[in-house]
Amino acid sequence: MSAEQPFEPQTIVVTTAGSAPTAGTILRLRRNGYRVVATDIDATAPGLYLADRSYIVAPGDTDDFLADIRAICVKEEAQALVPLVDEELVAATELEDAGVVVLLPRREFVSLCLDKYVLMRRLEAMGLPVPRTRLATEWSGDVEFPLVVKPRRGRGSRGVSTCTSPTELRQLLKDSPYAADELICQTRVPGTEFTVSVVVWRDGVVQAVVPKEVILKRGVTQFAVTRRNERITRMCRQVQQRLRADGPFNVQLALDDAGEPYIFEINPRFSSTTALTSAAGVDEVAGLLDQELRGGSRLQDEWRTGLAMVRRCADEFLDEERFAAHGLLASHTTPTDNAGPVADVAE
């Protein structure tokens, strides 16, 4: 009998290696037996040095990004791509046409969610509860304060402000770097905020819904606790049924005084709190990869409620030889221009 051939791990490309949660995602995938190639626009991104191989790529909102990421997937013979920042999502969906598994919802859902104004109008038309949302240019004299004002297209808390009076609103619109038709205003829902992982794949079956109460948010969620809430779960399933994401997405919502959930945003990608989802018992990233690449079974909607996440900075240690092998910080200097063509990394 011939000797058994060694197992060849599948290669996964993970973007946004500088984001706080990405390092943990890279390490979890490697522990699950995947070979991970990490990308970022900045050579100081910590996740680059925790992956098996690393590349610098152009920013996701430039024409060069798709060419860069496509070249990496071809060179590394990548089976799957996990994009983690909004600017990259639409371009990343094009890799599906080249046979790469892209862990995102369907392209139409991605495009819809990236335009917050159009998304809110669509959800409202479908009868799903959303805060009153208008373009800044559409507001009339019947404005209800406080108002949340934010870019129509954007991520995290960038450019988000709260106004408590007409005077504040007028001043904000005057001082904003965004055009008025690129800003939306939403009535602020007064209750508890939640960020929800909705795990679903191409067959459309919702495998798990994991609501997390937001305790502290600074750009991204810092402290959160898993909570079971049937109203939230039911509404998130309705989003999938009516809009057919057919891929992982994140719902941001708040409860009103009666406990009714109101959706104020949907991220068509994995949440920055995916580490908490995984720790609670639903490893959504590795789980979906396992199903698509290894014939694994669906994830179960069984997870630990009352589990708290405290986001922190963690130190990682590796041999200097492995650190240097990445070749991204030559001569111990910080690059002044990290965008541009793909920068290869030594084996």
pLDDT by 10s per residue, the chain, length 347 = 445 545 689 999 999 999 989 999 999 999 999 999 999 999 999 999 999 999 999 999 999 999 999 999 999 999 999 999 999 999 999 999 999 999 999 999 999 999 999 999 999 999 999 999 999 888 766 778 888 999 998 776 677 888 888 888 888 888 888 888 899 999 999 899 999 999 999 999 999 999 999 999 987 899 999 999 999 999 999 999 999 999 999 999 999 999 999 999 999 999 999 999 999 999 999 999 999 999 999 999 999 999 999 999 889 899 999 999 998 886 444 433 333 334 443 33
Is-contact 63 335, C-beta < 8 A? no
- Please give the CATH superfamily to which domain 132-187 belongs: ATP-grasp fold, A domain (3.30.1490.20)
**Fold entry, domain 190-310:** D-amino Acid Aminotransferase; Chain A, domain 1 (3.30.470)
Q: Hey, what are 104's tokens?
A: 């995102």
Domain boundaries, the chain: 11-102+317-332, 132-187, 190-310
Distance CA 197, CA 332 (A): 39
Q: What angle do CA 264, 267, 269 make, to 5 degrees?
A: 165
Residues of the chain by 3-state class (helix, strand, coil), percent to 5: 35, 25, 45
Q: Which CATH architecture describes the domain 11-102+317-332?
A: 3-Layer(aba) Sandwich (3.40)
